Structure 1
Amino acid sequence: MSTQDELTVPQEQLAEAWRQVLPERLHGGDRAEIMADEADPKALRVHIRTAGHQMMEFDFAVRYVDSREIDIQLTDAERDGQTVDERNDVMQALIQDYRRHLHECAQALHDVTHA
């Protein structure tokens, strides 16, 4: 990997950019919290609460592989505060949907992340 393709944006500035853009990518009523990952300067923690009566919450680790590409890991899925099995079809569909929104957010921020 070349050094010019490394992510050079300060982590808190990156988190703030995500706070501005991600809500525009989510379904109406869904809520997202974006925090800097204290263990990794190239990563963010994203917590998404779904709208409506489902009371679903998802936690994702979003790590910049380089200035353009992100790696997304689901770290937790809960319903009503209880961890749920994310392997069923409905959960997989929701997770894939949110992963797509996270990728769209990263794409929208290329002008910020790509020096």
Structure 2
Amino acid sequence: MSTEDKLTIPQSELVQRWQSELQQHLHGGDQAEVRADEANPDGLLVQIRSAGRQNLEFDFSVRYVDSREIEIGLSDVERDGQAVDERSDVLQELIVDYRRHLHECAQTLQPYTHA
């Protein structure tokens, strides 16, 4: 990664922009909470609570590889506070959908993140 393409936006501002923008990319009723990843100055921790009666929570880590590209990791899926096996087809579809929303959010924020 060249130094010209390094993320330069302060993490606190990145969190605020993601928190405000991500909700626009989710389905109605889904809720997101964005926090700073204390272990990584170019990272965010995103929790998405899916709408409906399933009480599902998805925990993602988002790390900026450079000022435009993100890397997404899934750290946990819970139902009613209990970890669940995310390999079911239904959960895999939701995970793919949420990953797409995270990428869309990053693209929308490129005017702020791209040096």
TM bucket by the smaller chain?
A: over 0.9
> What is the rounded CA distance, in whole Å, between the counterparts of 2:5 and 2:25 in structure 1?
25
Q: SS in structure 2 opposite 1:53?
A: coil
- Residue 88 in structure 1 maps to residue 88 in structure 2: yes
Alpha-carbon offset, residue 52 of structure 1: 1.1
Alignment of structure 1 residues 15-30 onto 2, 5 Å: 15-30=15-30
The number of residue pairs the alignment matches comes to 115
**Divergent runs of 4+, >6 A:** none
Counterpart-to-counterpart distance in 2, 1:45 and 1:21: 15
> How far has the Cα of 1:20 moved from its partner?
1.1
* Counterpart position of 2:78: 78
Partner of 1:61: 61
Question: What is the alpha-carbon distance in structure 2 between the residues aligned to residue 30 and residue 67 of structure 1?
Answer: 27
**Using the alignment, how far apart are the partners of 2:29 and 2:4 within structure 1?**
38
SS at match of 1:54: coil
Q: RMSD across aligned C-alpha pairs, in angstroms?
A: 0.5
Q: Percent identity?
A: 65
Question: What's 2:33 paired with?
Answer: 33
Alpha-carbon shift at residue 81 of structure 1 (Å): 1.0
1:113 maps to amino acid = T
Quote how far apart the aligned CAs of 1:80 are: 1.1
